[in-house]
């Protein structure tokens, strides 16, 4: 492989409507036929990835749940690093001390309790407006999340929304103290995304290189938010979209168009 594009999804490859444009899909095929290969590098679970991408013959690998799982189009699951069940139970109990909406990224799906799956709850926990379309179309619901904290389920990640930013900060400090084997990142205003220590997009990218024999020097990483900082730190070639956070732009090698301007069409013109 001479060149590989490892792209974030939300805010990057996907438009503000959380869909992939026809223009990007057409450019994806054209670039692939030129010998460029594609990796999805996302905080989403596998079945949150839009069907046209998940089923595409032009995406070779998916690094998802912020690096907790790596999937090959040809070989299936290559790697997984789920949270230990006892740790997941203790973390869940601790998070209940706060006003939280808790999602479990479990068995390749995002799951929350039915009582939180409504517009009032989404507003109360200040879920970002540009993420709401995804919340309303891809979530599974259960009556009680503790039914998933049992043998036979794999918890890839906690996605936790806080009503209070003060409580969000307090929870961060408590998690770091009480759960030193866990790691936090964020991609939204009021959330924490919690995985095993060392699990992040950067480590997922490095693990993919190890498993698939890819070279970092061949990979262009593209992203927009703070949960992309670790992949930018790992990569040799880093492109931030125009709508990216300032922290990402500061370490990018290049700033390209926005996510609503069909980034793959843009890349066709410069690669």
Q: How many Cβ atoms from other residues are within 10 Å of residue 260's Cβ?
A: 15
Apex 107 CA angle, 85 and 92, nearest 5: 40
Retrieve residue 125's tokens.
Answer: 């926990």
Q: How many Cβ atoms from other residues are within 10 Å of residue 259's Cβ?
A: 25
Same fold, 3-81+200-268 and 85-196: no
Retrieve residue 26's tokens.
Answer: 């057409």
State the pLDDT at residue 152.
Answer: 93
Q: Does domain 3-81+200-268 have CATH number 3.40.50.1000?
A: yes
Counting residues of the chain whose pLDDT is more than 70, the rounded percentage is: 99
State the pLDDT at residue 5.
Answer: 98
Assign 1 a pLDDT band (cuts: 50, 70, 90): very low
Q: Is the pTM for the entire model greater than 0.85? A: yes
User: What is the third-level CATH fold of 85-196?
Assistant: 3.30.1240
158 in Cβ contact with 95 (< 8 Å): yes
192 in Cβ contact with 172 (< 8 Å): yes
State the pLDDT at residue 137.
Answer: 87
Q: Between β-strands 109-113 and 254-255, what pairing exists: parallel, antiparallel or unpaired?
A: unpaired
- What are the tens digits of pLDDT across the range 192-240? 999 999 999 999 999 999 999 999 999 999 999 999 999 999 999 999 9
- What are the tens digits of pLDDT across the range 132-171? 988 988 999 999 999 999 999 999 999 999 999 999 999 9
Q: Rounded to the nearest 10 degrees, what angle do helices 165-178 and 85-95 cross at?
A: 150
Please report, for the chain, the start and end positions of each structural domain, with discontinuous segments joined by +: 3-81+200-268, 85-196
Q: What is the DSSP letter of 116?
A: G
């Amino acid at each position: 492989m001479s060149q590989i594009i490892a792209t974030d999804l939300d805010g990057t490859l996907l438009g503000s409507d959380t869909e992939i444009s026809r223009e990007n899909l057409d450019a994806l095929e054209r670039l692939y036929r030129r010998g460029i290969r594609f990796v999805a590098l996302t905080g989403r679970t596998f079945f949150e990835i839009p069907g046209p991408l998940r089923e595409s013959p032009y995406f070779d690998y998916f690094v998802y749940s912020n690096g907790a799982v790596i999937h090959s189009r040809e070989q299936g699951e290559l790697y997984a690093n789920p949270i230990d069940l006892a740790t997941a139970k203790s973390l869940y109990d601790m998070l209940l001390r706060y006003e939280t909406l808790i999602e479990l990224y479990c068995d390749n799906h995002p799951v929350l309790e039915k009582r939180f799956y409504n517009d009032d709850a989404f507003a109360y926990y200040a879920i970002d407006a540009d993420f709401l379309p995804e919340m309303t179309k891809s979530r599974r619901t259960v009556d009680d999340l503790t039914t998933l904290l049992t043998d036979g389920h794999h918890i890839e990640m906690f996605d936790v929304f806080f009503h209070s930013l003060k409580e969000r900060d307090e929870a961060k400090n408590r998690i770091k103290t009480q759960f030193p084997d866990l790691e936090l990142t964020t991609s939204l205003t009021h959330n924490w995304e919690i995985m095993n220590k060392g699990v992040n997009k950067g480590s997922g990218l490095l693990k993919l290189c190890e498993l698939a024999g890819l070279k970092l020097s061949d990979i262009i990483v593209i992203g927009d938010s703070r949960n992309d900082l670790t992949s930018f730190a790992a990569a040799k070639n880093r492109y931030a979209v125009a709508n990216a956070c300032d922290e990402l732009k500061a370490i990018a090698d290049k700033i390209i168009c926005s996510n609503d301007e069909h980034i793959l069409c843009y890349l066709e013109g410069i690669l």
